[in-house]
């Protein structure tokens, strides 16, 4: 174990001792199958990890908070929440990247976007948590950056996004604290990353199944230029059951059981959200990255999402290329970029990776019970496979692996 890992686990043990909360970091679990392992077909060629961390330098960290059972007692629990951290250039390089953001439906929050729109720069790590913890996470990011070499300027405008986990979590108990944010940032790393009930996705749903965190990637050959990678991470917390589509098949229509929101108020009135973070090593300008971000909505639509009135569908795209130009403060700068006429492959990669990341979140998630006995059931893998098989949409020669 490295010195950094030793420090991280020491911090985790202290948090558990002080709070009684389960805290986990973002390593992958080989025991958890992913969508492709079940034989679900997806177009396109993924990177070796099929994750946002296929984009060189990108690191992801999690803090997962799970404590208590039974009746809701505000301030005590039950707790089913957490924090996800995405560092575009990793913990050792906090310099800015070119970026752009887009909104599918605006009933949600992502701080820092006014400056991204103005400057085209994402100058801090990207954090995702629950709706009522955005403030403490934002302030904690600034404190963490000051301890690790300062912010991009003499000030920082952190990017913190949210989705609502109040069906399972004591949302008004404000259980996410500074140490939890620090642990997610300190624990960030490359390589395979965990999905499902982890980090900010701990208490989330997807099409009324248990949902959460998911990731995927695509390799893209831009004709006459080079090969690039597009990676996506989602915090998936949206959709009504009847809308769900997997591999183009309307799975949700024939799966009405254990759909608590539909049972409560019918098949309309979307009250969920989804945050999509898109990373690429392709050299792109901020205006082009905004166009990339917009394509995440099409990936959501491929799973059945419709960006309902109550949904916060917010997307951020960044490029790790052009590091000198993105961080310069003086002198004339030059930036390379893919011509607009060569962006289509990157657009498609964003759509396809977003779709697969959502399904990966569904497949990885496990049944969870939270406040007042509220329960979100994990999608049944065998039943899903059988439904796809009936439509000749199951690939049967998959070998387990990430």
Question: Whole-angstrom Cα distance, residue 394 to residue 38?
Answer: 8
Q: Which residues pair with 228 in a beta bridge?
A: 220
Residue 101 within a domain = yes
Domain that holds residue 24: 3-386
| Contact status, residue 206 vs residue 362, Cβ threshold 8 Å | yes
Residue 241 within a domain = yes
pTM here is 0.92
pLDDT in tens, 85-119: 999 999 999 999 999 999 999 999 999 999 999 99
Q: Give which of 238, 290, 229 is closest to 58, Cα–Cα.
A: 229
CA atoms within 13 A on the CB side of 342: 15
**How confident is residue 42, by pLDDT bands cut at 50, 70 and 90?**
very high
Count of other CB atoms within 10 angstroms of residue 198: 24
Residue 210 within a domain = yes
Q: Of 16-30, 101-115, 151-165, 351-365, where does mean pLDDT reach its minimum?
A: 16-30
Kindly report whether the peptide bond that precedes residue 78 is cis, defined as omega within 30 degrees of 0.
yes
Tell me the longest C-alpha to C-alpha distance in the chain.
62
Q: Of 148-152, 284-288, 309-313, 353-357, where does mean pLDDT reach its minimum?
A: 148-152
Most confident stretch, 14-18, 51-55, 92-96, 395-399:
51-55
| Contact status, residue 85 vs residue 188, Cβ threshold 8 Å | yes
At residue 6, the pLDDT reads 37
pLDDT at 46 over 60: yes
pLDDT at 7 over 50: no
pLDDT at 18 over 80: no
Indicate the number of domains in the chain: 1
Residue 207 within a domain = yes
pLDDT in tens, 266-319: 666 777 899 999 999 999 999 999 999 999 999 999 999 999 999 999 999 999
Rg (alpha carbons) of the chain, rounded to whole number: 20
Q: Between 14 and 375, whose confidence is greater? A: 375
Residue 42 within a domain = yes
- CATH number reported for the structural domain that contains residue 34 in this entry: 3.60.70.12
At residue 268, the pLDDT reads 66
Q: Between 263 and 150, whose confidence is greater? A: 263
Count of other CB atoms within 10 angstroms of residue 335: 16
**Percent of the chain, pLDDT > 90?**
82
Residue 400 within a domain = no
At residue 15, the pLDDT reads 47
Question: Whole-angstrom Cα distance, residue 313 to residue 293?
Answer: 11
At residue 379, the pLDDT reads 98
At residue 16, the pLDDT reads 44
pLDDT at 2 over 50: no
pLDDT at 31 over 70: no
Q: Of 20-29, 185-194, 290-299, where does mean pLDDT reach its minimum?
A: 20-29
pLDDT in tens, 206-242: 999 999 999 999 999 999 999 999 999 999 999 999 9
| Contact status, residue 200 vs residue 213, Cβ threshold 8 Å | yes
The two tokens of residue 207 are 């099409």
Q: What average pLDDT does range 327-335 have in this prediction? A: 89
Q: Which residues contact 129 (CB under 8 A, 6 or more apart)?
A: 81, 82, 83, 84, 137, 160, 161, 162, 176, 200
Residue 396 within a domain = no
pLDDT at 257 over 60: yes
At residue 254, the pLDDT reads 96
**How confident is residue 156, by pLDDT bands cut at 50, 70 and 90?**
confident
At residue 398, the pLDDT reads 52
| Contact status, residue 300 vs residue 104, Cβ threshold 8 Å | yes
pLDDT at 13 over 60: no
The two tokens of residue 28 are 């992958």
DSSP β-ladder status, 126-130 and 121-122:
unpaired
pLDDT at 14 over 50: no
Residue 399 within a domain = no
| Contact status, residue 208 vs residue 257, Cβ threshold 8 Å | no
User: Hey, CA dihedral for 31, 1, 58, 226, is it positive or negative?
Assistant: negative
**Percent of the chain, pLDDT > 70?**
89
Terminal CA-CA length for the chain: 23
**How confident is residue 251, by pLDDT bands cut at 50, 70 and 90?**
very high
What mean pLDDT, rounded, does the chain reach? 91
At residue 38, the pLDDT reads 97
Most confident stretch, 147-161, 165-179, 321-335:
165-179
The residues carrying an active-site annotation are: 273, 311, 313
At residue 25, the pLDDT reads 53
């Amino acid at each position: 174990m490295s010195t950094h890992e030793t420090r991280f686990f020491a911090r985790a043990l202290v948090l558990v001792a002080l709070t009684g909360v389960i805290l986990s970091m973002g390593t992958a679990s080989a025991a958890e199958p992913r969508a492709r392992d079940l034989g679900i077909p997806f177009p396109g060629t993924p990177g070796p990890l099929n994750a946002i961390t296929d984009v060189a330098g990108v690191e992801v960290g999690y803090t997962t908070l799970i404590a208590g059972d039974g009746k809701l007692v505000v301030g005590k629990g039950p707790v089913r929440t957490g924090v996800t951290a995405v560092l575009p250039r990793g913990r050792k390089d906090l310099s800015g990247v070119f970026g752009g953001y887009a909104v599918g439906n605006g009933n949600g929050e992502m701080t820092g976007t006014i400056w991204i729109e103005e400057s085209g720069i994402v100058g801090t790590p990207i954090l995702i948590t629950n709706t009522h913890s955005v403030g403490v996470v934002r302030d904690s990011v600034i404190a963490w950056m000051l301890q690790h070499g300062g912010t991009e300027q003499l000030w920082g405008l952190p990017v913190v996004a949210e989705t609502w986990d109040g069906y399972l979590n004591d949302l008004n108990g404000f259980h996410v604290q500074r140490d939890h944010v620090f642990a997610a940032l300190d624990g960030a790393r490359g390589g395979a990353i965990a999905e499902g009930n982890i980090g900010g996705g701990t208490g989330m749903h997807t099409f009324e199944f248990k949902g959460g965190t998911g990731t995927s990637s695509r390799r893209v050959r831009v004709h006459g230029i080079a090969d690039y990678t597009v990676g996506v991470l989602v915090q998936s917390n949206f959709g009504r059951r009847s809308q769900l589509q997997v591999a183009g098949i309307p799975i949700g229509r024939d799966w009405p059981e254990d759909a608590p929101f539909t049972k409560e108020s019918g098949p309309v009135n979307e009250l969920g959200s989804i945050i999509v973070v898109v990373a690429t090593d392709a050299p792109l300008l901020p205006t082009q990255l905004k166009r990339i971000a917009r394509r995440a909505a099409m990936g959501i639509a491929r799973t059945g999402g419709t960006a309902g009135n109550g949904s916060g569908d917010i997307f951020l795209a960044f490029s790790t290329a052009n590091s000198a130009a993105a961080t310069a403060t003086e002198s004339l700068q030059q930036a390379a970029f893919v011509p607009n006429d060569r962006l289509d492959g990157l657009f498609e990669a964003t759509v396809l990776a977003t779709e697969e990341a959502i399904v990966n979140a569904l497949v990885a998630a496990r049944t969870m019970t939270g406040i007042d006995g509220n329960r979100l059931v994990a999608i049944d893998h065998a039943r899903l496979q059988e439904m796809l098989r009936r439509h000749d949409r199951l690939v049967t020669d998959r070998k387990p692996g990430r």
